[in-house]
Amino acid sequence: MCSVSDDLDCLSLTSSGSGTDKSLFHATCKKCRSEPAKVVVQLKEAFCKNCLLLYVNHRFRACLGKSKLIKPKEKILVAVSGSLASATLVDLIHCGLQDTTPKRLMFSPIIVFIDDGAALGLSNEQRLKIFQEMRIMLKNCGLSTFYVPLESVINFEHNDLKEIQSETTLSINECSVSKVRKIFEDLKSVTSKEDLLIKLRNNLLIQSALTLNCSKILTAETGTDLAVKLMSNIVIGRGAHLPLDVGFCDTRCTSVLLLRPLQDVSKKAVAFYVLMKGLKTVFIPAFSSIERKNCSLQKLTENFLVGLHCEFPSTMSTIFRTGEKLSLNPLSPNFGTSSCELCQGPLDIYATESSAYLATQISSAVSKYGKAAINSDGIHVMNHSSERAKNRILSSSCKNEANGTFFNPVCYGCQLILAESNNQIHLLQNSLRKHHNQILRDKMKEEIADFLIE
Amino acid sequence: MASCTSSIPSGEREVSECSSATGGAGKELKVNIEFMGGAEMMFDNQKKLNVTLPPAECKWTIRSLLAYMKVHCAKGGGLERFFTGDSVTPGILCVINDQDWELLDTLNYELEPNDNIIFISTLHGG
């Protein structure tokens, strides 16, 4: 019915040098063959306005339909950030729910906007401005919309979720704001800041979903975003979680699944969708907005890939389609039974011998303690397979131990974040542990469900 | 940053050569420029700009418009986020009268009076 391989059909490895292709000038739409084309979405595929809108809608519906994960009347959380992609997602859902739409969407969506102004260090006035712009943007969609500030992650309570339309001003909890600000200021690199922000945002989304009794979360990550995320996650040491981070469905938390229904749409198609429908968007700066051009590994990867994509228009789809084939093997000896306390992903630190992880551990131990490390406890213990012994090494690698507070084992990617933080990150510990335990309980409940008497 | 500052004079030269050749002949050209997706950050957070281009003998193109914008409109730092060489940074889309610039010869498109030009940044964080 719907093929997603069309992108790859035009796989060409020759440089097209965008724009030099004269055959597209004043072309007619490739699909309806009558209207003048307005946008080149794929290589040599030019669409008119109506065909582009249909194309984006079709890709979205096909992606959701194919997964067969969403049941009628299910409550679904829709994560909105104000970006081009989230404006598109809200509009697609809004149109899909109309009675006049054939094959109407049957689920009931709830929109949640996470205000991460505290982490970005925005002033209260800037945050209020963004909040009001968001209110206007989401006013016409007619869906129930909630707002939750990122600082709630410190101590999430049910009443932190507020109806956006009934609030006129922001109630800012200065204490939490300064804590969040400290946590982020404490991190040295923009790379870790961006990474931590994504993890905290995901935690908050899952908590909001649990509070609002939603069993799924939809995010507006496009194929372009995911291709960039795939490469940058490898770069920042999160390769073990790729299938969760860039796949269609993130199953980290068994009771709330995170789905990415815009994964088959490119960022360009989304931008033109917004433009042609005249949708409102809200621009919220990111960490990289105020820094220099290649300030973080994520941004550097993005600039590199987008640049490459200009020369070789199949870059993004090739990366994404390759990433799509990755899957997680839960039985692999590299994964433990427990999950990371910070990102909830499976722990990738139970390395088998002669693995890359062990190599970095040995290398860092040797550079820290010199020759003595070879025979010291560190390496010795590492060769034992007992989980406790490994935890000991891990906890000693977390700087927070000095403070008497350290996280339970965290995955390799999160260790890198912790290693950069001096002490402030322990402010997160209690809430994350609570959240972590809840997810573990849910998982256990599911496992023993068959043995329970109702 | 170094590449950015060194390319400004060349842009200036291009514009001034273009306009001086005419000696004031020709007409002024008005175009409307709009920014979306964070591209406005490099232009003093103005979402819309009405630019009146000085008379020039050779026709104004997107290429010369970008050179003009680099000198006259861009404010503050971070120019290299928007301009790369004589074009825009990859990831910033250019839409001319609701049409993708790839359908209109990109940089070589010749501007007409009252053209609407929209720059959309699809990059993370603008």
pLDDT in tens, chain A (454 residues): 444 444 433 434 334 444 456 667 778 888 888 888 888 887 778 888 899 999 999 999 999 988 888 888 899 999 999 899 999 999 999 999 988 888 888 889 999 999 988 888 888 888 999 998 898 888 888 888 998 998 888 888 887 888 887 877 777 888 888 888 888 888 888 999 999 999 999 989 998 999 999 999 999 999 999 999 999 999 998 888 888 899 898 888 888 999 999 999 999 999 999 999 999 999 988 888 877 778 899 999 999 999 999 888 889 989 988 888 888 776 666 666 677 888 888 877 766 666 777 777 778 777 877 766 665 444 444 443 444 444 444 444 444 443 334 556 788 888 888 888 877 777 777 777 777 777 777 777 777 878 877 6
User: Is the CA virtual torsion A325, A74, A339, A222 positive or negative?
Assistant: positive
Q: What is the least distance, in Å, from the CA of A84 to any CA of chain B?
A: 7
Chain A positions touching B122 (Cβ under 8 A) are: 84, 224, 267-268, 270-271, 306
322-381 in chain A: CB under 8 A from chain B: none
**What local confidence, expressed as pLDDT, does residue A174 receive?**
83
**What local confidence, expressed as pLDDT, does residue A407 receive?**
56
- The reply to whether ipTM tops 0.90 is no
> Long-range contact list for A47-52, CB < 8 A, 24+ apart?
A49/A276, A49/B98, A52/A269, A52/A272, A52/A273, A52/A276
Ramachandran angles phi, psi of A339, nearest 5°: -120, 165
Q: Do A268 and B105 touch (CB under 8 A)?
A: no
Alpha-carbon distance values, A40 to A83, A312, A382, B91 (Å) = 21, 14, 54, 14
Q: Do A275 and B102 touch (CB under 8 A)?
A: no
Q: Do the beta carbons of residue A80 and residue A90 sit within 8 Å?
A: yes
Minimal Cβ distance to B103: which of A46, A224, A286: A46
A111 bridge partner residues: A78, A145
256-295 in chain A: CB under 8 A from chain B: 267-268, 270-272, 274-276, 281, 283, 285-289, 292-293
**What local confidence, expressed as pLDDT, does residue A333 receive?**
65
Chain A positions touching B61 (Cβ under 8 A) are: none
Chain A positions touching B95 (Cβ under 8 A) are: 272, 275
**What local confidence, expressed as pLDDT, does residue A425 receive?**
72
Ramachandran angles phi, psi of A329, nearest 5°: -105, 100
Question: Dihedral angle at the C-alpha atoms of A172, A178, A181, A182, nearest 10 degrees?
Answer: -170
The nearest alpha carbon in chain A to B88 belongs to A307
- Chain A contact probe: residue of B47, B87, B119, B124 with most A CBs at under 10 A: B124
Q: Do A309 and B90 touch (CB under 8 A)?
A: yes
How many of the other CB atoms lie within 10 Å of CB of B28?
Answer: 10
What's the 3-state SS for A342-356? CCCCECCCCCCCCCH
> Is B81's Cβ below 8 Å from some Cβ in A?
yes
**What local confidence, expressed as pLDDT, does residue A375 receive?**
58
Q: How far apart are CA A169 and CA A37, in angstroms?
A: 45
* Secondary structure (DSSP) of A327-381: ---TTSTTS-SSB-TTT-PBP---PPTT-HHHHHHHHHHHHHHTTHHHHSHHHHH
> Long-range contact list for A156-164, CB < 8 A, 24+ apart?
A156/A204, A156/A207, A156/A431, A156/A435, A158/A211, A161/A112, A161/A208, A161/A211, A161/A212, A164/A113, A164/A131, A164/A134, A164/A135, A164/A138
> Is A51's Cβ below 8 Å from some Cβ in B?
no
Q: Do A286 and B101 touch (CB under 8 A)?
A: no
Q: Six-digit token pair at A190?
A: 């923009």
- Please write the tens of the pLDDT for every residue from B97-122: 988 888 888 888 888 888 899 999 99
**What local confidence, expressed as pLDDT, does residue B75 receive?**
77
> Is B4's Cβ below 8 Å from some Cβ in A?
no
Q: Do A299 and B80 touch (CB under 8 A)?
A: no
Q: Do A25 and B41 touch (CB under 8 A)?
A: no
B72 pLDDT exceeds 70? yes
Element at B121 (helix H, strand E): strand B115-121
Q: What is the least distance, in Å, from the CA of B29 to any CA of chain A?
A: 24
Q: How far apart are CA A426 and CA A406, in angstroms?
A: 7
Q: Do A288 and B93 touch (CB under 8 A)?
A: no
Q: How far apart are CA B68 and CA A190, in angstroms?
A: 33
Q: Do B37 and A84 touch (CB under 8 A)?
A: yes
**What local confidence, expressed as pLDDT, does residue A361 receive?**
76
Element at B100 (helix H, strand E): strand B99-100
Chain A positions touching B38 (Cβ under 8 A) are: 283, 285, 289
**What local confidence, expressed as pLDDT, does residue A297 receive?**
92
Q: Do A293 and B118 touch (CB under 8 A)?
A: no
- Please write the tens of the pLDDT for every residue from B3-43: 333 344 444 444 444 444 333 346 788 899 999 888 888 88
Chain B positions touching A306 (Cβ under 8 A) are: 90-91, 122-123
